[in-house]
A and B are shown apart, each in its own frame.
Chain A
Amino acid sequence: MAETCDALIVGGGFYGLYLAAFLAKRHSRILLVERGADLMTRASYANQARVHGGYHYPRSVLTAGRSRANYSRFLDEFHDAISDRFEAIYAIARVGSQVTAEQFTIAMERIGAPLQRAELKVRSLFDSSRIEDVFLVEEAAFDADRLRRIMAERVAAAGVSVKLHTTANRATPLPQGGVRVETSGGAIEAGEVYVCGYAQTNAIAAASGLPMIPLKHELAEMALIEVPEPLKSLGITVMDGPFFSCMPFPPRGLHTLSHVRYTPHGQWFDNAEVPYQTADRVLEVVEKRSAFPHMMRDAARFVPSLASCEQSGSLWEVKTLLPRSEADDSRPILFRANHGLEGLHVVMGGKIDNVYDVADAIEQAMVSQ
Chain B
Amino acid sequence: MKPDLLISVLAVYRDQAGVLPSFLAETAALLGRTYSNFEIVLLDNGSTDATPAAVRPLLQQYKCVRYLRLTRPLADETALTAGLDTAIGDYVVTLHPDFDPVSEIPAMVDLCRAGNEVVLGKDRSPPETGLAYRAARSVFRRVAKRIVRFDPASGLTSYRCLSRSAVNAVTRVRARRRNLGVVLEDVGLEPVFHPYSRVSRSGGSPQPSLYRAVRTGLSLLVHHSAAPLRFVSILGVLGSALSLLYSLYVIAIYLFKDDVMPGWTTLSLQVSGLAVIAFVMLTLIGESVGRVLDEQLDRPLYHIREERASSVMLADATRRNVTDHSTDEPRRAA
Contacts and interface: CB of A to CB of B under 8 A. Distances in A.
A286 B304 contact: no
Given A261-B309, A293-B36, A297-B6, A268 B314 contact: yes
Interface string B1-39: 000101000000000000000000000000000001101
Interface residues of B, number: 28
Nearest to A219: B314
B312 A266 contact: yes
B120 to A, nearest CB: 23
Interface stretch (A70-78, A277-285, A361-369): A277-285
Contact of A277 (B85, B171, B312, B318): B318
B85 A95 contact: yes
A365 B300 CA distance: 51
Contact of B314 (A261, A266, A294, A297): A266
Contacts of B66: 261
B85 A267 contact: no
A35 interface: no
Given A96-B304, A285-B322, A297-B6, A264 B317 contact: no
Given A264-B311, A293-B6, A286 B88 contact: no
B88 A267 contact: no
A294 B39 contact: yes
Contacts of A287: 317
Contacts, number: 58
B309 A294 contact: no
B207 interface: no
Interface in A277-313: 277, 281-282, 285-287, 293-294, 297-298, 301
Interface string B84-96: 0110111000000
A281 B317 CA distance: 12
A297 B89 contact: yes
9 contacts: A265-B312, A266-B311, A266-B312, A266-B313, A266-B317, A267-B314, A268-B313, A268-B315, A294-B6
The 6 closest A-B pairs by CB, nearest first: A266-B314, A298-B88, A293-B37, A297-B88, A266-B312, A285-B321
B110 interface: no
B307 A297 contact: no
Nearest to B315: A268
A96 B322 CA distance: 40
B172 interface: yes
Contacts of A185: none
B309 to A, nearest CB: 5
A315 to B, nearest CB: 18
Contacts of B39: 294
Interface of B: 4, 6, 36-37, 39, 64, 66, 85-86, 88-90, 168, 171-172, 300, 304, 307, 309, 311-315, 317-318, 321-322
A129 interface: yes
Given A95-B300, A268-B314, A286-B318, A129 B172 contact: yes
Given A264-B311, A293-B6, A294-B88, A281 B300 contact: no
A274 interface: yes
A265 B39 CA distance: 14
A242 interface: yes
Which secondary structure dominates where chain B touches chain A? Answer: mixed
A266 B315 CA distance: 9
B126 to A, nearest CB: 35
Among B36, B88, B171, find the residue whose CB has the most chain A CB atoms closer than 10 A.
B88
A110 to B, nearest CB: 26
Given A261-B309, A267-B312, 9 more contacts: A129-B172, A219-B314, A265-B312, A266-B317, A268-B313, A285-B318, A285-B322, A286-B318, A293-B6
Contacts of A268: 313-315
B315 A274 contact: yes
Given A266-B312, A266-B313, A293-B37, A282 B318 contact: yes
B203 to A, nearest CB: 35
Contact of A267 (B172, B300, B311): B311
B325 to A, nearest CB: 16
Contact of B318 (A267, A281, A294): A281
A227 to B, nearest CB: 19
A268 B60 CA distance: 12
A364 B168 CA distance: 56
A301 B88 contact: yes
Nearest to A295: B88
A277 B318 CA distance: 9
Contacts of B311: 264, 266-267
Contacts of A301: 88, 168
Given A285-B318, A294-B39, A297-B6, A242 B307 contact: yes
Nearest to A287: B317
Contacts of A294: 6, 37, 39, 64, 88
B273 to A, nearest CB: 52
Contacts of A277: 315, 318
B321 A286 contact: yes
Contacts of B304: 96
Nearest to B320: A285
A293 B7 CA distance: 11
A297 B318 CA distance: 29
A242 B68 CA distance: 12
B38 to A, nearest CB: 9
Contacts of A95: 85, 300
B236 to A, nearest CB: 38
Contacts of A264: 309, 311
Nearest to B167: A301
Nearest to B172: A129
B53 to A, nearest CB: 19
Interface in A246-286: 261, 264-268, 274, 277, 281-282, 285-286
A286 B89 CA distance: 26
A95 B322 CA distance: 43
Given A96-B304, A242-B307, A294-B6, A282 B88 contact: no
A325 B36 CA distance: 34
Contacts of B90: 297
Contacts of B314: 219, 266-268, 282, 286
Interface in A85-110: 95-96
Given A95-B85, A129-B172, A294-B6, A286 B317 contact: yes
A274 B39 CA distance: 30
